[in-house]
A and B are shown apart, each in its own frame.
Chain A
Amino acid sequence: MLSFLLIVIAALFFTGIINRTKSIFSGRKGPGIFQPLKDVMRLFRKESIYSDTTSFIFRLAPSVYFSSVVMAMLVVPFGQSKGLISFSGDFIFFAYVLALGKFFNIIGALDTGSSFEGMGASREALYSMFAEPAFFVLIGSLALLTGYTSFHEIFAAFHLGSPISYALAVLAAFVIGMLMMIENSRMPFDDPKTHLELTMVHEVMILDYSGFDLGLILSAGMLKFAVYGAMIVNLFIGIFPYQYAIPMFFAIQAGAAIITGGIESFMARFRMSHNVQFIFALTSVSLLIFFGALLILGKFS
């Protein structure tokens, strides 16, 4: 329950901080931190216009996408307090429920019969396919290290063994951070500010959404950021008492947002045709963590 509240609060300002960082780096004053939130609230009150090619899939897709992120959020724990849903193997549910959202996002894009949205859909399907192994291998290695198979137990037992695990945690944070960028279609995998449909991934998929549905998609994106941020937090806080853990949570979330903003200010996007290779390379980082876990457990001897 605690993690749920914290993630929602973090989601409120995450995108705002990213935008603010970008504006400061580019020498602008920039909008306030809560501007994305206000945008979404405005969208929720606006009328919706639909393409006449679309069917009920297009109308259903944003709701499914949003609720899939909400359900994924419920699984994420916070240090010693469990998520609302917790069972052994819950990370499988986490990954697959996010896949449900993606599935609907993709078919929602195909529903418009557009010449561009299929392109984004195709890329999204391919990227998420290659991103998922990294996540599963990462969690597999953490499970191996701790001997548990649920988020809560893994994170609670992560640093009990030896302090070397913090080195693994840094690597794992890198992997999850990159997954966060892929899932949210951010730099260096996708450029949310591009203005050419041909070079978009996520943005082109939602071209035809308006009003409430667009608001749902945007707010799901905000939540997703906070969910992955919370996972990074979990890698470090372990069983810290709450008075340290909660400030750390917000500090790390804010840090993640600032880094995201920084990356977007200073990096160019990867070449579209090589994106998949970059994404799959994440799996090899996960494999490093796996071998690290094997080393710590002394299985090589």
Chain B
Amino acid sequence: MPIIVHLDVMLAKRKMRSRELSEHIGITEQNVSLLKSGKVKGIRFDTLDSICKALDCQPGDLLEHVPGNEA
């Protein structure tokens, strides 16, 4: 997938655990884990909005497009 998710980096920067984030944004810890590992097909705008609010960041801080990374 050419979209790389940097959620783990942002969580480390904000010193926040996955469980804490999942409680903040109202999705399961399992889904946060899947999102961190990039094993999802998509992310809803409202989930992205909640994550950005919880981590005080921009969508660009969480997602990166890497051309040619099709694996």
A binds B: no
Residues of B within 8 A of A (CB): none
Residues of A participating in the B interface, judged by any CB pair closer than 8 Å: none
